[in-house]
Structure 1
């Protein structure tokens, strides 16, 4: 699917064919879309790279064409286990048009299409590129705060239940943080190389925006690292708690088993089908029960004195 847009009076309007200063947004391209992109002299290998979710952030220049691949965060509502992931966005810039290529719809591009991003123009290619970077860092920070909120909720549940289910949920959040950290670091390297290459003509205001984007990206990396360390610490702590609770249960069962061992032995002996001492006595049942109870009490007392009950 592709759509061609151009900004007019602060709004994105859809047009039928490419014109000077337009934006061509291609989502999940089919063979017809790929042929259309090739007609714009966009390398077919770059198109497939933009659709590869494992592709790292990078940029390259081919004569008057600038290719950029960046990593964007997105919320996968279809996956309840690991909802926060990253996706690849390919950007091709050439005099006259600006092209974005992605394998699926994402909130960053949708916000721009629907006009939720202010001060953006398709006619200013470099500023448009920076606005995409800026919007991506905003969503990274937003999703990181959401991950932190979810981890706090799971931690509260763990305090009450201490189940494996909450530990698995924390592990899934840890996966999201790994995705974010890897993509943010890849973006950071791409930003630094792009800045050093000087292939973008930036005005003073654009340079300030680029610097702000770099700072926010580093902040997102720090947040992801901190949240990852917190989650790892909590998982280790609660895994120890679960293991300790299991040890307590096994300890109680051991105490009960030891306390009943001697009464069980007495009952087993007098349950044998052989002639035993005092079998003819009418009070032997009460004596055996009393001795069994006394033995269980003595075993329990000994275990108490050696602090097995603590």
Structure 2
């Protein structure tokens, strides 16, 4: 899908045909759409379609007619019927005429630009636009990291009494998301460091300040991802032991109940044997049945009290 936007000092609108200073947004473009854009702006088709490959790594490619910046952006993904976090590539190509973004899916990173909610955003100010996208990307990482922290706290509360694996699986998914984030943020950092030295993109003083802010935000996101990852890893180990311990407690209680219940069972079994009544205590007494019941009950109560005294229950 291809969408073209053009802004002036006062307006921001969608247009039909690209002009100088416009923004071409490609979302999972077809081969035909990619070929048209590549031919018109003399872009290598492989570079234009590189962000559609989920395995592509963040990098900067400098050619005679354009410069391509490839970074990883955070996304929501359905796994095990729940929303979790992952990363996908976003390509930003700057030419003499236009700026092109290409991605496999719609993304939160570009939503605010489309909806006109970004301050001092103009499509014809291509350098600033690039740095604004990268800054917004770092901000989205921070938002998703805080959401991961909140989710891990919710799962932690459930785990205290859990004997199932469901909560551990949720922690595993969160840990997997943090691995994606940490890896992507590190590669993005290398891109940002290279942008500082890159001369093919002209930088103005305000743009350099924005780039520095972006680097700071990206570093903060890396630190948060590392901290949350270490916390989750320790939490996984601790609560795996908690779940195992909870199961052992339940098995111990069931075993003690079985012992208590086996006492009257053994007595009743003895009286159920096919032997002469004269050899069985209380067999000839009219109250023999109730006496046996009482004896079984007393022994069971005594055993239960003993277990409680030993703090086994």
Q: Normalising by structure 2, what TM-score?
A: 0.86
Matched residue, 1:25:
25
Matched residue, 2:263:
262
Task: Please give the residue correspondences for 1:107-146 in structure 2 after superposition, counting only pairs within 5 Å.
Answer: 107-146=108-147
Q: 1:248 to 1:69 in 2, by over 3 A?
A: same
Instruction: Decide whether the 8 Å contact of 1:162 with 1:238 is kept in 2.
Output: no
Aligned equivalents of 1:241 and 1:46: distance in 2? Answer: 50
Offset at residue 152 of structure 1 (A): 3.1
SS at match of 1:3: strand
Matched residue, 2:46:
45
Instruction: Decide whether the 8 Å contact of 1:57 with 1:187 is kept in 2.
Output: yes
Query: Deviations for 1:231-282, whole angstroms, at most 9, x for unmatched residues?
Result: 3334444443333322222121111222233332222122122336137522
Unaligned runs of 5+ in 2: none
Q: 1:262 to 1:78 in 2, by over 3 A?
A: closer
Instruction: Decide whether the 8 Å contact of 1:184 with 1:221 is kept in 2.
Output: yes
Q: 1:57 to 1:79 in 2, by over 3 A?
A: farther
SS at match of 1:188: helix
Matched residue, 1:245:
246
Residue 303 of structure 2 corresponds to residue 296 of structure 1: no
Instruction: Decide whether the 8 Å contact of 2:264 with 2:300 is kept in 1.
Output: yes
Query: Deviations for 1:36-57, whole angstroms, at most 9, x for unmatched residues?
Result: 1221222121233211122211
RMSD between superposed Cα atoms in Å: 2.7
Aligned equivalents of 1:220 and 1:78: distance in 2? Answer: 23
Q: Normalising by structure 1, what TM-score?
A: 0.87
SS at match of 2:75: strand
Matched residue, 2:16:
16
Matched residue, 1:217:
218
Instruction: Decide whether the 8 Å contact of 2:43 with 2:65 is kept in 1.
Output: no
Offset at residue 194 of structure 1 (A): 3.0
Offset at residue 59 of structure 1 (A): 1.0
Offset at residue 157 of structure 1 (A): 4.5
Instruction: Decide whether the 8 Å contact of 1:81 with 1:172 is kept in 2.
Output: no
Task: Please give the residue correspondences for 1:134-173 in structure 2 after superposition, counting only pairs within 5 Å.
Answer: 134-158=135-159, 164-173=165-174
Q: 1:124 to 1:263 in 2, by over 3 A?
A: same
Instruction: Decide whether the 8 Å contact of 2:12 with 2:116 is kept in 1.
Output: yes
SS at match of 2:119: coil
Offset at residue 133 of structure 1 (A): 0.3
Matched residue, 2:97:
96
Q: 1:77 to 1:249 in 2, by over 3 A?
A: closer
Aligned equivalents of 2:162 and 2:130: distance in 1? Answer: 48
Matched residue, 2:233:
232
SS at match of 2:248: helix
